[in-house]
Every structure is written in C-alpha cells, then in structure tokens.
Amino acid sequence: MKLFKVVSGVALSSAMLLTLSSGAFAQPSSQATKETSDVSVTLDGQTTHFSNSEIKRLAELNNVDPNELRKAIESGPDEEGRFSPFSKLAPLKNTGIVKEQLDKSNTQKLSSTGEPLIRSKAEKSVISPLSTVTKSDQDSTAYNWTGNKTANGNWPVLGVCAVHRNKDIGGSGNGPVIPFGTTLATDKDIWLPDNVGYKSSFNVDDTGSGPKRTDYWIDIYYSKDTKSAINYGVIKLSYTYSS
C-alpha cells in the first residue's frame, strides 16, 4: 500500500517524502565542495596555496566571512591591478569583540617564515609635536607585487604604503588623503619580508580602494610574499605624521 501525505494541498508519496528529507534542500554539491576546498592565487607566476582550515582560521582571526575571504583571494588583482583581499572585506557585525581580543588575535599572525607579523614598538619615533597629525585606531592591511607602479609613478619597494584617494572618503579627485612622500610613524613594529625585518615608519607612495575600511586605512606593501600579506589580515594601528 502506498503512503501519501498532504502538504499545502498536494499529495506526496512516501518516495517523494524520502527524497525531500534526504537532501532536496541541501546545498548543491558544487557549492558545498567549493566552500570546503583549498584556495590558491597566482601572482607574477608564483602560486600560493591556502588550505580550507587556513581560510577558516584567517577569517576568525580577522572577523570576516570565510566564504567572502575565499572569493577575494581567488579573484586575484582588482581592477586597478592591486592584490589586497582584506581591504575589500567588510568586518562581521560582532560588537562583542573587544580590543584585548583583537590584540590576542594579532599575536597569532605569523609571517611565511614564522616571525610575528606585529610586535610592541621597540622605540618611539620623534616627530615635532607642533606639527603632528595623529590618526588613531585605523585599519591596516597588506598588498602584493603585481607588476604595476604605484599611483605616484614609482616601482613599489618595501617600506611604502597606500592610502585612500580623496574621492573614497567623500572628497573629490584621485589624490591621496595623505600627501605622497609623507612618512607615517606607526605605534607597532611591523615585520616585512626579504630580510627587512621590523619597521615602524612607512612612506605614502600609493593609493588603493578599501571601501569597507576606516577613512585613514593604510595598505602596506609586502612585495611577493603573498602568504605573509594574507596572514597579516586586518590590524588596527595608530600613527602620526608631520603636516
């Protein structure tokens, strides 16, 4: 004898009910596979891989959606030829996260060679207090070499950073929100690759787009070390500069 059940006026057989209960509403297999697979990106002929567990860990450390992070990495350089995945990601709306938790997360961020990517500053930079501008609790991210010059017309070197364009924060024009050539003194030491080591001063020489980031966000250049740039994620920094 066949069994039927009426759902919203439609008679369903036992076989149909079994089909529905066993996955008719599950994610398509292709989508589920994509969300659990490894991720890779190739820049200037060099491919960097991230496992699914690494993606989940990075997303948790930086308070972003893991699937959005996966897409940002896989999409490669943006329309301006820059590769800076975290600059495009919105933070999750989690108001329970406090500064102490962020600081703890940052201590877990390691370079491709195992060094902490950020540490307490060894010595203070000296800038005249009469002409000092301070930007507090600003987002910082990292970007990589893609074969393009900076917005200031130079080949990028370790120790430079990018900032928003005026038009990105409500102004007009493509000029940087902080003038090119300005040296920013950060409140933390930041590790850079290629034997540079820790630095706490960065020269503004590029512009980028960080639509989900703070107005005075900075994007730090990491050359070809994609692993370290991704591991850097998003870190809150305060910095000063002479006006």
Report whether 101 contacts 95 (CB < 8 A): no
Does the active-site annotation cover 215? yes
Report whether 130 contacts 220 (CB < 8 A): no
* Strand stretches in 110-232, DSSP E: 118-120, 132-143, 160-164, 183-192, 197-208, 218-221
Catalytic residue (choose from 44, 189, 215, 219): 215
Q: Which amino acid is at 7?
A: V
Residue 207 CB contacts under 8 Å (≥ 6 apart), including other chains = 151, 162, 163, 164, 165, 174, 176
At 18, is the secondary structure helix, strand, or coil? helix
* Nearest Cα residue to 219 out of 149, 162, 154: 162
* Nearest Cα residue to 86 out of 224, 199, 217: 217
To which H or E segment does residue 10 belong?
strand 10-13
Catalytic site residues?
215
